[in-house]
Chains A and B, each alone.
Chain A
């Protein structure tokens, strides 16, 4: 390879970097990327389930008894190695002091009007679980939490969210550049420890999708300790004929 070829190769790569930075700077919010991503388990291959739900015929799923709540440890590698709370706080860019309930992350921020909080569910179910970032639940539990007006977060891409989402769910895609702002906003809304112990349901598209698990880890790292992942996700919700909204609003 001649020196000229090396220089030209370097020039192509350098031009690629410049164009990428310029394009990203002018990209709309949902297409923009933060320069340095922080994705837990980026190098860990998830363990495969021995009987994946996708291989079970839908008729059999319908006949399966619904267990009230999956309390076993989640099977994905995302949860196999739980990050420390400090690490997760770093992930979302919040001050570690935020882990102390009395010291919210953004003390200088203007007070945010708090939306009405949902009715707390019954005491014996959906209790906070500070030892693990999330608990996976099935449709029956998801449906009961939805009926109680619990906060639902949609971890899929905003463009997919707009095509249809669980009624009332907010868009929280972990792949979009504004995710840290949204997480901070949620922290501001629920800075009180009692509010952080209220259930939050996160879902994505089911199957191999790990976006909801990633979002759960982000929230767990900043005090939220009652997070549920709807493992079968939006396709399962649709399959049950549960309420769906389309468009950009919850």
Chain B
């Protein structure tokens, strides 16, 4: 089981899938930073002076981490960045879920889609589970990387 989990066949596919997800997620935010800043504002977690700079930098870091995963360069650093970002997203969405602040997560789309409160709350639950799934993918990459280092 452990060998299967760390098998290069699986690792490469997980790496490419995770990288592609991060690149796809980054592009709309890079294309429209003001809308992403609006999304960050809606989370009510980031102090006002940091909203714009977060909206500008975060998508580019996502893009670079995604590219690094797909290209197989700086794998450990890329999966660290991805893991940190996913942890931040999960915590941020969860906090807003528990305080009943219905938000669009702004993960893959930054346009205001005019959803109801209930739709947004449901989507937030889905987003947390999706991010937890991606965190498991990072766990697989980390485990495979560790085995690779041990065998080397």
Contact = CB atoms under 8 A, between A and B. Distances in A.
A39 B74 contact: no
A55 B101 CA distance: 17
A42 B33 contact: no
Interface string A188-221: 0000000000000000010111010000000000
Contacts, number: 118
Interface residues of B, number: 44
Interface string A1-32: 11011001101110111011101100100111
Interface residues of A, number: 48
Interface in B17-47: 30-35, 37-38, 41, 44-47
B148 interface: no
Interface of B is mostly: helix
B55 A33 contact: yes
A152 interface: no
B64 A15 contact: yes
Q: Is the interface of A mostly helix, strand, loop or mixed?
A: loop
B136 interface: no
Contact of B52 (A36, A45, A48): A36
Contacts of B41: 37, 39, 42
B74 A12 contact: yes
B16 interface: no
A175 B38 contact: yes
B80 A48 contact: no
Contacts of A39: 41, 48, 51
A31 B44 contact: no
B81 interface: yes
A147 interface: no
A9 B34 contact: no
18 contacts: A1-B76, A4-B76, A8-B76, A12-B81, A16-B58, A16-B61, A16-B64, A17-B57, A19-B64, A21-B56, A33-B52, A36-B52, A37-B41, A39-B48, A43-B47, A48-B100, A55-B116, A157-B34
